[in-house]
Amino acid sequence: MTDLPLSVRGLNKKFGGLTAVQDVDLDLQAGICTALVGPNGAGKTTIFNLITGNIPPDAGEVLVNGKPVRGMVPHRIARMGVARSFQDLRLFGRMSVRDNVLAAIEHSAWLWQPGGGAARRAREAAVDAALDRTGLTALADARAADLAYAERKFLSMARILATGGRIWLLDEPASGLDPHSRARFVSLVRSAVADGVTICLIEHNLDIVTELATRIAFLDRGAKLAEGEPQAILRDPELIGIYFGERRT
Ligand SMILES: Nc1ncnc2c1ncn2[C@@H]1O[C@H](COP(=O)(O)OP(=O)(O)OP(=O)(O)O)[C@@H](O)[C@H]1O
């Protein structure tokens, strides 16, 4: 057993003959940002999918606050405080910005309760706070499909914020952002970390990784090759060679 917010032990996943995740151990330490770094196809998103119950592992265990989650459906794991974003965002395009955030709460959060004025006010307050922190208040009534690219990315962050989850799994949340939006994103994540949120970040931009991550787990072809402080990992010539495509034999 462990007191860590999130721990992964001996995780394995094959898709047909392809080993996507191989014997991965990973500990997310409380209140820091841990980055998963590795080339395309290294298994990073699959690890998120295994943690959140979106796909079942072939072997291994995921512990949330020390509790095994094997066999639980995704919304149950989300209610334990695990909030995630997807590369493809998965917004409801025809719904308003506000309703997108509300839907995230109602599907996954511990704030959700079936009824009652107090519960409804708590949900509305959580939505308002999330829109405020992501700079989307003025767009609350816009359709998600009508948002600009960066605004959609921030909407995805607002959905996470509103759940009140204390463990965030962020899958390339800053990809494609312009420099101004990227700086806003970095400051949003920093303030969450300062609030004690535990974050696991999949990110290809190593500048953002350096800015946000206290630890890096480096993956390649499903296996964790190294874990440590960013300075150590990002200065390792072998890992950097793998990252930029100089394949090992
Ligand atoms: N549902 C699936 N069915 C079959 N193969 C899959 C499935 N999901 C992922 N894979 C394969 O598993 C491997 C790991 O994929 P994954 O998306 O986890 O990598 P990644 O490190 O997140 O890559 P990227 O940085 O490109 O997003 C890849 O070879 C991918 O094609």
Query: Which token pair is 196?
Result: 């004690």
User: How many residues are given for the chain?
Assistant: 249
Assigned CATH topology for domain 1-75+208-249: Rossmann fold (3.40.50)
- Cα 68 to ligand 1 centroid, rounded to whole Å: 24
Angle, helices 97-108/117-133, rounded to nearest 10 degrees: 120
pLDDT tens digit string along 115-161? Answer: 667 778 888 999 999 999 999 999 999 999 999 999 999 999 999 99
Which residue among 40, 84, 85 is best mutated to probe the pocket of ligand 1, counting the most ligand atoms within 8 A of its Cβ? 40
pTM over 0.95? The answer is no
Is residue 223 predicted with pLDDT exceeding 80?
Answer: yes
Residue whose CA lies nearest to ligand 1 atom number 11: 20
Strands (E), the chain: 6-15, 18-28, 33-37, 59-64, 67-68, 82-84, 167-171, 198-202, 215-220, 223-228
- Cα 169 to ligand 1 centroid, rounded to whole Å: 16
What pLDDT was estimated at residue 246?
66
Residue whose CA lies nearest to ligand 1 atom number 27: 40
What pLDDT was estimated at residue 48?
98
3 state DSSP class of 124? helix
Task: List pocket residues of ligand 1, CB cut-off 6 Å.
Answer: 15, 18, 20, 38, 40-46
Going by the DSSP 8-state scheme, the letter that residue 144 receives in this structure is G
- Cα 151 to ligand 1 centroid, rounded to whole Å: 26
Whole-number Å distance between alpha carbons of 236 and 226: 10
What pLDDT was estimated at residue 248?
55
Residue whose CA lies nearest to ligand 1 atom number 28: 41
Q: Counting atoms of ligand 1 from 1, which one is nearest the CA of 38? A: 21
- Cα 213 to ligand 1 centroid, rounded to whole Å: 23
Q: How confident is the model at residue 89 (pLDDT cuts 50, 70, 90)?
A: confident
Kindly list the domain boundaries of the chain, sorted by start residue. Answer: 1-75+208-249
